[in-house]
Structure 1
Amino acid sequence: MDRDRLLVTVGDITCFVGDAIVNAANPSLLGGGGVDGAIHRAAGPELLAECRTLGGCLPGQAKITRGYRLPARWIIHTVGPIWRGGQHHEEELLADCHRNSLALAAQHGLQTLAFPAISTGAYGFPVERASRIAVQTLWTDLTKTYPTLQVTLVCFSEATAEHYCRAQATLF
């Protein structure tokens, strides 16, 4: 697989120009802090109205909405796990967030999507561990199941991006 299909960058995910961005949402899907709040603010009130019709989302699962005022046409909302010491299936749930988001993108014929560093903010998932899980899961699924998808990991800070770049470097 071409390594350019899994990129790491630093930036604002709400500015991503592509088919979809992934939102690190809370279970209500009604907005919140961090990436979730930024996406809701940038997309506009229409996003909240659509999210109210979805009935929330369980950790590890994903749902899709229109992108409204964002450059991306779609938003894939996924609920990451809250870190509780690693004994409550957090790693499996984080991998599921990435797998289910990719599956939803493929079901909708999307080609380019951007992921944030899911669960590494307020949910407290250790970024070094989260980056390894995200990169390995994405790489495996892109290689084996989704040969046409291109993923960009959009990190909010250089420090976070370094973890994702190190995780990516172990694959090549």
Structure 2
Amino acid sequence: MHETVLMRLDIIRADITTVAAEAIVNAANSSLLGGGGVDGAIHHAGGPKILQACRELRATVLPAGLPVGQAVATTAGELPARWVIHTVGPVFSPNQDRSELLASCYRECLRVADELGADSIAFPAISTGVYGWPMAQAATIAVDTVRSTPTSVAQAWLVAFNQRAEDSYRAALGRGQA
């Protein structure tokens, strides 16, 4: 285990496939075999090595797929990162509180990053696309969880793909500093 350090948490507006963090997080589906949104973009930009690594995981340690709230790492293929950490976010439900599952995604990604010895990590807005999580609520969960999780990662980025995500992250980050 690596020594816990004071992590720097920043917000950047970018396409996560262009972020040069040691590890980037993929908001994957449980099959790990690609999909839409962030998942499709990462698989497309990273090339066939990521899919090959995911197929190997499915053939060995994850035959039923990756459970919601868990995380696993693969190569980053052609991406500027060293690793992709795949996590499966929960689908938002107005009738059931699944915020702990969303928080688990961030904690598990940091745990995997620590196991890899990654110094930096970049997170997308997990579950806010087709999984329907309200961006402001997801941003608060992301900021609070990343800030409160002991880790040896020195730099974390919350990657905002659009203005709404950036504004939500900045508001959540500001609330925690008051």
| TM-score past 0.5 threshold | yes
In the superposition, relative to structure 1, how do residues 86 and 149 fare at CA in structure 2: closer, same or farther (>3 Å)? farther
Contact 2:68 2:87 in 1 (8 A): yes
- Aligned counterpart, 1:53: 56
- Aligned counterpart, 1:67: 76
Return 5+ residue gaps in structure 1 as ranges.
Answer: none
- Aligned counterpart, 2:157: 152
Return 5+ residue gaps in structure 2 as ranges.
Answer: 59-64
Q: CA RMSD in A?
A: 1.4
Contact 2:69 2:102 in 1 (8 A): yes
In the superposition, relative to structure 1, how do residues 64 and 148 fare at CA in structure 2: closer, same or farther (>3 Å)? closer
Determine if the alignment matches structure 1 residue 78 to structure 2 residue 81. Answer: no
- Aligned counterpart, 1:43: 46
Q: Distance in 1 between matches of 2:91 and 2:11?
A: 23
Determine if the alignment matches structure 1 residue 128 to structure 2 residue 128. Answer: no
SS, match of residue 142 in structure 2: helix
In the superposition, relative to structure 1, how do residues 113 and 148 fare at CA in structure 2: closer, same or farther (>3 Å)? closer
- Aligned counterpart, 1:103: 111
Q: Distance in 2 between matches of 1:105 and 1:148?
A: 7
- Of the three residues 146, 166, 172, the one matched with 2:171 is 166
**What's the TM-score once normalised by structure 1's chain length?**
0.93
Q: Distance in 2 between matches of 1:86 and 1:117?
A: 21
Determine if the alignment matches structure 1 residue 31 to structure 2 residue 34. Answer: yes
SS, match of residue 176 in structure 2: coil
Deviation at 1:149, TM superposition (A): 2.5
Deviation at 1:147, TM superposition (A): 4.7
